[in-house]
Amino acid sequence: MNDDAERIRRCVADAVQKFAAEPGPLLEILHAVQDQLGCVPPAAVAPLSDALNLSRAEVHGVISFYHHFRQHAPGRYLVQLCRAEACQSMNARALEEFVRGRLRIDFGETTRDGRVTLEAVYCLGNCACAPAMMVNGELHGRVTPERVSELAREWGVAP
């Protein structure tokens, strides 16, 4: 636990040092922290607010405003499924149902073994190749249930 707190503190300090000279650096710092730790843990709020002379409420307010910043690290595979109109026109609703059933989790949840986290996103800019999905930053187009099943096997999700 102490190790964790120390690791978080050091990560925040590094990020602050890197970006503090820039104007309005909080988002950049949060990105750096999340890139490093997989999330912006609650324990990062106090050192951030101290370093930037902001209230804890301000820092927490920014973290919680943006969908991208999360307070807990995701599973090894972060699966972001697009729910926007262009994907819906290509049957994304049915795909959603399939993915949730296949992974046995809902949006915003992680499989119990910590392997896969499922997130809803609204447009990945791949609208001419709908439905679209992103897995750990890799974009997939014209996604079918069969393709998801294949990938789920790669992710080690029990059938």
- Smaller CB separation from other proteins, 11 or 132: 132
Residue of 25, 51, 73, 145 interacting with other proteins (CB under 8 A): 25
State the DSSP H helix or E strand holding residue 109, giving kind and residue range, or none if neither. Answer: strand 109-110
What x-and-dash track marks residues 27-56 binding other proteins by CB under 8 A?
Answer: xx-xx-------------------------
- When the beta carbons of 111 and 126 are compared against other proteins, the nearer one is 126
* H or E stretch covering 14: helix 2-19
The CB-of-45 to other proteins minimum distance in angstroms stands at 15
Helices (H), 20-157: 26-37, 45-52, 56-65, 85-88, 92-103, 145-154
For other proteins, the binding residue among 49, 120, 147, 149 (CB under 8 A) is 120
Give CA angle at 106 (103, 111), nearest 5°.
45
69, 90, 92, 146, 148 from 66: Cα distances, Å: 6, 28, 24, 32, 27
2, 53, 112, 137: which one binds other proteins (CB under 8 A): 137
Q: Of these, 9, 14, 26, 149, which contacts other proteins (CB under 8 A)?
A: 26
In the numeric block, the tokens 């949840």 are attached to: 109
Nearer Cβ to other proteins (105/152) = 105
39 half-sphere exposure, CB direction, 13 A CA radius: 14
Interacting residue ranges for other proteins, rule: CB under 8 A: 23-28, 30-31, 58, 61-62, 65-69, 83-91, 93-94, 96-97, 106-108, 120-130, 132, 134, 137-142
